[in-house]
Structure 1
Amino acid sequence: MNSLTDLVLESVEDRKGVEPLALDVTALTDITDTMVIVGGTSNRHVKAIVDNVLEVTKARGIEVLGVEGREQNQWVLIDLADVVVHVMRAEARAFYDLERLWEQPGVARDVPAATPPGTA
């Protein structure tokens, strides 16, 4: 696991991302090395997670190659070259099931689920 992946996971955990998961996809694609998939409980929660990832990476001088989906905040993709981040509402995450799509033995890190905001 690389430090960029760790930085992204820390930033989504800071915003109570739901079931963050990092997948090592180096054996499956040349597009990226790691995919981080994380859930949000609402559009506002997805936006907060995305904003934090962008803020933290910008502060470290990491180039963001692209961000897609910010208008609806149902599924937002952040392209950081070596790491691609998918922040998704639960409905979108269940429907697209990216974990199964990219399924392989190389799950890099499975982070314990965070308590949804307002339930602690």
Structure 2
Amino acid sequence: MDAENLSKLVIDALEGLKAQDIVTIDVADRTSVTDFMILATGTSSRHVQAVADNVAEKSKEAGVMPLGSEGRGNSDWVLIDLGDVIVHVMTSQAREHYDLERLWSEPRVAQ
């Protein structure tokens, strides 16, 4: 499955369990590790876990086995590595603290 279709599958899985503030960042030109990072917010640690489990389950059903995951259990941040797509599901507090959108955004050129 190509990266764009995998991203769509992930977004559908996130939306299926009511993840909030879903953002896709194209990082293909900034890293060789992955093509897309998808960030989503869960309302609690339990919701973060349920959303991440749904992403892993839906990707497996589509024939894409996760290469790994971090943050399982009672965590405020779960990462799922699907190769061409890396998924971050976080509580709003963790997302605000780590601010991955800012870290991976395009650099601004001074004018």
Match of 1:35 among 24, 34, 37: 37
Measure, in 2, the Cα distance between the counterparts of 1:72 and 1:102.
26
C-alpha contact 2:38 2:88 (8 A) present in aligned 1: yes
For structure 1, the 5+ residue unaligned runs are: 106-120
**In the alignment, which residue of structure 1 is the partner of 2:18?**
16
More helix by share: 2
Structure 1 stretches of at least 4 aligned residues deviating more than 4 Å after TM superposition: none
TM-score normalized by the length of structure 2? 0.91
Match of 1:68 in 2: 70
RMSD: 1.2
> How many angstroms does 1:47 deviate by?
1.1
What corresponds to 1:94 in structure 2? 96
Distance in 2 between residues matched to 1:72 and 1:49, nearest whole Å: 13
What is the Cα deviation at residue 72 of structure 1? 2.6
- Would you say 1:52 and 2:44 are equivalent positions? no
Q: CA separation in 2, counterparts of 1:30 and 1:97?
A: 21
Q: TM-score, normalised by structure 1?
A: 0.84
After superposition, the C-alpha distances for 1:14-47 in whole angstroms (9 at most, x for unaligned) are 1110100010001110110000000001011101
Q: Secondary structure at the match of 2:96?
A: helix
Q: Secondary structure at the residue paired with 1:81?
A: coil
Rounded to whole Å, the distance in 2 between the matches of 1:77 and 1:50 is 8
Percent identical residues: 49
Aligned residues: 105
Q: List alignment gaps of at least 5 residues for structure 2.
A: none
